[in-house]
Structure 1
Amino acid sequence: MQSTQTALGRFPTLKASAYLQQLCKHFAHKIPVSFNETSGEVGLPTGTCTLSASESDLQITVTATTLEQLERAKTIIDSHLERFAFREGFKTMHWS
């Protein structure tokens, strides 16, 4: 039986829904994505990302089969949000 690796990322922002939708629309050009204004799921090749937007933050749970894939998925999310949320000084999600 193969174990899974999981990380939860949190980005405090008043624009969580906008970033969730922007990420999902961006990824939808190449990979399977489903989303609405407050939730989404992205099937990255390195792992599945489940997104959730509230009035105060964006939360993303990444699930992968290996620690290496998990780290790669987190890097993909961080690098895209760094471009999309640069006006807010975004550098990285608060991962746990």
Structure 2
Amino acid sequence: MPIAEARVETDRPSRYLVQLCKHLSNKGRHLGHRPPGHRPPGLRPDQIHVEWSDTQGVLTLPWGRCTLHAERDALVLRAEGDDEQGLRRLQELMATHLERFGRREGLQVNWQDEQAGQGAGAPAARHEDSGDARTSSPRRGHLASAGVAILALAIIAVHLGLAEAVLSGPRWTDWAVGAVLAVVVVKIAALTALGRHAHRRGRRRTG
């Protein structure tokens, strides 16, 4: 539902609110006395509803609704149309009458579209989020590869220490040394394959 607001600066907001609502209410009653050809198209007298007090007013029409609020130094209008055309009709109706009533004071009704202000910036925010996702994937891939390399160095260091202990022990034979070295080679190969797999996954995410 399209919405627009207008804040009309005036020293007599309550007076204009009551005058405008009374005029629109009388206009609705007068429609019943007009010939069908002289009535606004698609509008019946019973479709115009106006309620008001000294500080609040509500106008309801088939194509939308307008609320009025009298503040200390301004009259605030809020128009809600069933569609864009209905909103424009409400804006034109309220502005034409209010500016005519306040012609001596020089009243001006400047509407501000609410939805246009709320919608701005949303696509940019989504674009920024997608950019963060693109840059984070290769970063994770590099971190994974670095972690695998560090783990491989740690395992090599541990096994070198174990091999040194084996070689220094008098009761260990050559086959035990070979077994330790074989374990080191197998683990290095497995870690290398794991690092390549993590790197490929990072490249596919960025592609």
TM-score by length of 2: 0.43
Q: Output aligned runs, 1:41-80, within 5 Å.
A: 41-80=58-97
Gaps of 5+ in 1: none
Which residue of 1 is the match for residue 109 of structure 2?
93
- Measure the CA separation in 1 of the matches of 2:54 and 2:10: 15
Is residue 28 from structure 1 mapped to residue 25 from structure 2 by the alignment? yes
Is residue 16 from structure 1 mapped to residue 32 from structure 2 by the alignment? no
Spell out structure 1 runs of 4+ moving beyond 4 A. Answer: none
- Measure the CA separation in 2 of the matches of 1:19 and 1:79: 13
- Partner of 1:86, secondary structure, is coil
Alpha-carbon distance, 1:89 to partner = 1.2
Do the aligned partners of 2:13 and 2:70 also contact (CA within 8 Å) in 1?
yes
Q: How many residues align?
A: 92
- Measure the CA separation in 2 of the matches of 1:86 and 1:32: 26
- Measure the CA separation in 1 of the matches of 2:109 and 2:61: 17
- Measure the CA separation in 1 of the matches of 2:2 and 2:49: 20
